[in-house]
Amino acid sequence: MKNVLVLCTGNSCRSQIAEGYLRYFAGNKANVYSAGIETHGVNPKAIQVMAEDGIDISHHTSNNVDEYIDVPFDYVITVCDNAKENCPYFPTTAERFHQNFPDPAKATGNIEQVLNEFRNVRDMIKVYSKEFVDQYL
């Protein structure tokens, strides 16, 4: 079984969404974790838009990358430029991947406009996650 870590700045939106989809698409082929270089708590809007697509991430927690220092990861995926550029030294032999997604938490406008940005980012991450699982798991 492969170990996959999804890394973001605050482990609140993008990495949480990616963890949800990677778990869904990988099934029993991988242990999927997500973490941040900081912890900001799981964003309720991320939980909401994932639920709209049938994925429950309400039980996820926001974790710091240091919590997984002893996990032998096969793959580490950074989902934002900030995490890629500012991640503290993380000793791993894992193959690294990077795909920058817009931060939906920075969306502005009325609630529907903000939720639509969350949905757009969710859909981008869904496609990436499916392709990652198909290719590497």
Mean of per-residue pLDDT scores for the chain = 93
pLDDT at 89 over 80: no
Q: Which helix (H) or strand (E) holds 37?
A: none
Read out DSSP for 78-131? E-SHHHHHHPPP-----EEEE-----GGG--SSHHHHHHHHHHHHHHHHHHHHH
Range of the domain at 111: 2-136
Per annotation, catalytic residue among 87, 105, 115, 121: 87
Per annotation, catalytic residue among 5, 8, 30, 57: 8
Q: How far apart are the first and last CA of the chain?
A: 9
3-state secondary structure of 68: helix
pLDDT tens per residue across span 36-84: 988 999 999 999 999 999 999 999 999 999 899 899 999 999 998 776 7
> What CATH number did the domain enclosing 119 receive?
3.40.50.2300
Say how far residue 78 (Cα) sits from the centre of its chain.
8
Give the number of domains in the chain.
1
Global pTM reads 0.94
Per annotation, catalytic residue among 13, 32, 57, 80: 80
